[in-house]
Structure 1
Amino acid sequence: MGDVLAFPSRPESRPAPEPHQAAEPLWREAVGRELREERRAAERTLADVAGRAGVSTQYLSEVERGLKEPSSEILGAVAGALGLRLVDLTSRVTRRLARIAGPVCLAA
């Protein structure tokens, strides 16, 4: 017969961070964290916010944990349910990522 070949290992979804640098979070993780912090600061439940946004509690939970990549319509609905405009949410997330990421080093 033929030779048995090993499957190549799966590439990482993100490159490993440098030892001195923390991994940059994904957009969905930063958005989820911002939504969760806003919801908790307002002392609102997942069920309350999900109901007002027109999404399931399970889905909102997954968005908050950074497991789902929500559409702009979903983000707008959830932000609105929390009393935020979409631009406010995206600005907060951008500032959060800028603080974490630091300067970009481009290899030549």
Structure 2
Amino acid sequence: MTATTQRPVSPIRRGREPLWRELLGLRLRRLRHQRGETLGETAERAGVSPQYLSEMERGVKDPSSEMIAAVAGALGVTLLDLTVGVTQELTGGGRPSGAVVFAPFGLAA
């Protein structure tokens, strides 16, 4: 038996809602590619291993806020800008989805 690395299947291909960490990873990879950098270059500046950054980009890791901030800084973006960008992707570019969510509980006064 050979060991295989599990890669998340694209949420679009599986027809499921994407996870935040998957969209975060796609955004990190896009930013790194826009800068023309290798995994090693970005990882070194962020203080993480290239393997860890690769796992973040593939949506395999659920990184801490400190790790996300370190990589964001290495890519020249703020944690806020990165988070807003991922959130906009989750919400369809900031447009309301039309879905109404009902909470199964109320808040006590």
Give 5+ residue unaligned stretches, structure 1: 1-21
The within-5 A match list for 1:38-49 is 38-49=31-42
In 2: Cα distance, 1:58 partner to 1:103 partner: 39
**Structure 1 runs of 4+ off > 6 angstroms?**
none
Give 5+ residue unaligned stretches, structure 2: 1-14, 105-109
Match of 2:88 among 74, 95, 104: 95
RMSD of Structure 2 on Structure 1 (CA)? 1.9
Match of 1:73 among 57, 61, 66: 66
Across the two proteins, how many residue pairs are aligned to each other? Answer: 87
- Check if 1:23 corresponds to 2:24: no
- Please report the TM-score for the alignment, with normalisation by the length of structure 2: 0.73
Equivalent position of 2:49 in the other structure: 56
- Please report the TM-score for the alignment, with normalisation by the length of structure 1: 0.74
Q: Which has the larger radius of gyration?
A: 1
